[in-house]
Structure 1
Amino acid sequence: EVPDFKNALKQFQKLVEKMVTQKTKKRLGLYIEDDDEIDYDKFYTTTQTLFGPDVKDHNVKAFFRKISNNLDARTEWCEIFGYFIGESDAMSSQLKEENMVFLVSEKQQISHAVVKRQDVIMGIVKVPHLDFTVTASQKGVLTIFNNQRLLRPCRVYPFYFHQDTAWITGCDFLPQLKYVVAVTERTVIVWDYKSKGSQSNCFIIKPMENGLLCVCTVTMSDHLAKDNILMGDDKGYVHLLTVTSDHFGLKQCKGKKESQLQVLDPKTFNIVKRKLHDDWVVKVKYISDLNCFGSCSSDSIHSFVLDDIKRLEDHLPVKEFSVPRGVNAFTYCGKAKVIVTGG
């Protein structure tokens, strides 16, 4: 069995090298897509064939994302089995302890364990007018902090796809409906944090067509019962989802005090989408000062898009910028009137 395992490792290394080469060429605009392209499905299937059932979906997914987000990242084959090589036991222990603390500022910490070990915060959103902060962890914990104190954590809602938990990839706050919104790979979560007592209402919009990677709220609506949500996915599409109070008319059950969860069909919502990038959409943001939305990707050709939100519906040409190896982050400074991007 040892020679077979060594051979599997060699084939896996070749698979990783080939994938990195393809993605590097793609981000430079030199790669032509064909049937030999290694996407996640092909990477997962090949890895399962090489190593069998000992390889779990979420570990393969984490490995694939690590490479996709940083082609120069150092990887070890043991990571696909859920094992990681640390510099020392002391350092590993220190990192685990730090992961259990939510940093509020340089001088203050909240010692409440918002995320458990082997879990990380994926999104932090400040809601100034309500004086609280929303966080979302990768494994599904939504939490609200008010005045630097823990207000109330949402129950953990695990969503299982192929017997593995789907990761939360981002969160935001809906200012009109006053709900928390978060996204996983095929799901939009809407949490009514105002639920009283031990009852917590959560609405699940699924299944979405592609894997959702980021989310933000469009803050231009004056309609008191409507919010618009921007989302980016793993196929290069930017989605615009409109939600109203009518969508979330919860049917109360007498005598039930536990959490209620309702699954809603995406077909009942107004959703428009447009393909703006040829790689993952890693961030979307609505810039109210400019009345525009921005989206960015590791795509070297369609790296950064900045235009009116109407472009998602009318399919007219968009204002876009090309950056070698793409754009992974951006922000807008109103005082300086500049947009800063990071690759």
Structure 2
Amino acid sequence: MPAQTISLPSISNTRSTVANAPNRADKGASLAQKARLYSHAQQLLADARSGQVELKSRLDDATVSKKINVLKDPAAYRSEREMNLAHFRELLRVFQSAAVDKDGKMDVTQFKSVFSVVLGTGLTDEQMDVLFMKIDANTDDAIDWDEFSTFMLLRAEGQTAMREAAETRLFNADTMTKIVTPHRETINKILYLSGHKRFMTCSRDGTVCYWSDKMKLQRSYKNIGARRPQSPNKKKGFSPAPPKVFGQPHQRWVHDCIYMEDTSKVVMSSDDHEVTIYDYTTMETQIRLDLHDTVALSLDSYHDPENPESDQTTLILGTDSGHILFFTFSPLLLFSATGKKKDDPPPLINLTSARSLKTFGATLWKRKSHNDWTLKVQYFADLKSVVSCSPDSRNSFCMGTEVGKGKWSFVTASVYRGVNTFAFCKFPICLVTGGTDRQIRLWNPYRLSNPMAALRGHSSPITDITINPINGQIISLSVDKQIRIWDIRKQQCLQTLFDHVEHKPEDVLTRVFFSKVHARLIAASTIMETYKLRDPPARGAEVPRTRGGGEV
């Protein structure tokens, strides 16, 4: 039966109905009528109970889970579990029949005999007495329809509020933990390596740190990729030493860092026009990619999800020229070309040379997607798409979907003052962007013509976004070190975290990262700050009460 809006009868109508009850003088007729009423009431109560009077579904959990998307459609969740109008009318008739008093009231004895099945199964007399006192708001040892219906509605509302409170878990700012790191420059990447059950952080000076699940430092590597000056007799494929500044080797800046799970390699892009692939365990250089006249600002990689046995891996690069580069290679062929001897330099692949690519069995395909820097690029296996963003106001947001082997279809969207960062939420499904105009925008990934919603609240440009998939929340970071938590379904800000720590060398937060495995938010500069989700309300915990004594 479809759910309807509940419209309760007024107490005056109820009392008039009770006043028109059969004459009590006719005891025989009255007893027979009562017997029929009680028999009918028991049947109605059984139907009402199976009809979710206790906010339980009439369907089994498996059926409900197939038909109702709880997180995506809370309205359907409520309509399936709350009482409908027909059941409430039946309860009214049962109440009127049982309340034989001329004022339309019911004492505790009548209450126990009639409504024990509805309000709780297996309750003792003492528990029923307590329940009766909760309903009896004016403490006159009798309950009327107003008191009973109010209690039933507040009971349903209270359970809905408790469920929403459990879904809307916020972070506990009072228990924020500050973690000192070996990083001397700001952290530009935080990763969780699920296969190794550890965190990885990388700063722009090339320092890489590995952390345990409990955020304990395990290993650190400083100045990864800093090359020593080479001898005059250069070996093939080894580039000259970096220039010296004031007698010191040039300190290169790392723009991005990723971990390729299928090859167990760490990849870094730097301002020396190179992308370097390192061994995960030793952090020794394996392969160097020369971009010639461009710099890779962002990285990502993917392995063919349709063919897990494929030996092809694709490294995606977003450059400062607005291009997206797809470097496809076979790990077996590529890494077998590394130096056999200890002193052999790592191979250098010139991405602008077809001959160099062919030598290593690799291919390169690129596309001009933006008219400004490609600040971020990421591949989403669920969408089979590559998404990139740029400060470009015209081609701010680009999404390329794989429509066939080696074939891509690209769609772009325009955002005023461009897009600095983005994230993807699986449930409810949406793409989230943030930029210099201080607005969070929600996009339908299958239709990028216009955003679904725009969330306002930040007072500074947005620099990073991450997703809390546990509760369907957006976590955004702005230049003023303000972290905001947004509810995607309600489209409102739930919490704001303020950072009062003075960071050095720059007083900024550069990254936010949410770990679904540990229910932990990490904010980073040169140090890390961790926030834990508050525990949900315990089952059976006492709920707030109204002034009338009912549960909310």
Q: Pick the TM interval, shorter chain.
A: 0.5 to 0.7
Distance in 2 of aligned mates of 1:260 and 1:179: 19
SS of alignment partner, residue 231 of structure 1 = strand
1:74-223 equivalences under 5 Å are 107-113=176-182, 115-116=183-184, 119-147=185-213, 148-156=215-223, 157-158=225-226, 161-163=242-244, 164-185=250-271, 186-195=273-282, 200-209=283-292, 210-221=294-305, 222-223=308-309
Find out whether 1:235 has 2:302 as its counterpart.
no
Find out whether 1:282 has 2:375 as its counterpart.
yes
Partner of 1:55: none
Equivalent residue in structure 2 for 1:305, among 361, 385, 398: 398
Q: Is the 8 A contact 1:174 1:180 kept in 2?
A: yes
* Structure 1 pair 261–121 and aligned structure 2 pair: CA distance change class (3 A): farther
Partner of 1:264: 348
Distance in 2 of aligned mates of 1:273 and 1:313: 12
Structure 1 segments (4+ residues) deviating >6 Å: none
Runs of 5+ unmatched residues, structure 1: 1-104
Q: Is the 8 A contact 1:213 1:232 kept in 2?
A: yes
Number of aligned residue pairs: 227
SS of alignment partner, residue 165 of structure 1 = coil
Superposed CA deviations along residues 175-223 of structure 1, whole A, max 9, x for unmatched, are 110111111131112111224xxxx421242321311101112254424
Partner of 1:102: none
- 1:151 is displaced (CA, Å) by 2.9
- 1:261 is displaced (CA, Å) by 5.6
Q: Is the 8 A contact 1:188 1:206 kept in 2?
A: yes
Distance in 2 of aligned mates of 1:176 and 1:300: 36
Partner of 1:76: none
Q: Is the 8 A contact 1:212 1:234 kept in 2?
A: yes
The alignment yields a C-alpha RMSD, in angstroms, of 2.8
Distance in 1 of aligned mates of 2:431 and 2:204: 28
Q: Is the 8 A contact 2:391 2:418 kept in 1?
A: yes
Q: Is the 8 A contact 1:311 1:317 kept in 2?
A: no
* Structure 1 pair 277–161 and aligned structure 2 pair: CA distance change class (3 A): farther
Distance in 2 of aligned mates of 1:172 and 1:329: 16
- 1:106 is displaced (CA, Å) by 6.2
Partner of 2:531: none
1:304-343 equivalences under 5 Å are 304-309=397-402, 314=407, 318-343=410-435
Q: Is the 8 A contact 2:376 2:389 kept in 1?
A: yes
The residue identity in structure 2 corresponding to 1:251 is G
- 1:110 is displaced (CA, Å) by 4.0
* Structure 1 pair 133–301 and aligned structure 2 pair: CA distance change class (3 A): same
* Structure 1 pair 135–112 and aligned structure 2 pair: CA distance change class (3 A): closer
Q: Is the 8 A contact 2:402 2:409 kept in 1?
A: no
Distance in 1 of aligned mates of 2:339 and 2:429: 47
Higher gyration radius (CA): 2
TM-score by length of 1: 0.59
- 1:226 is displaced (CA, Å) by 4.0
Runs of 5+ unmatched residues, structure 2: 1-173, 228-240, 245-249, 351-355, 436-552
* Structure 1 pair 124–261 and aligned structure 2 pair: CA distance change class (3 A): farther
Structure with more relative contact order (C-alpha pairs < 8 Å, separation 6 or more): 2
- 1:311 is displaced (CA, Å) by 9.2
Q: Is the 8 A contact 1:240 1:312 kept in 2?
A: no
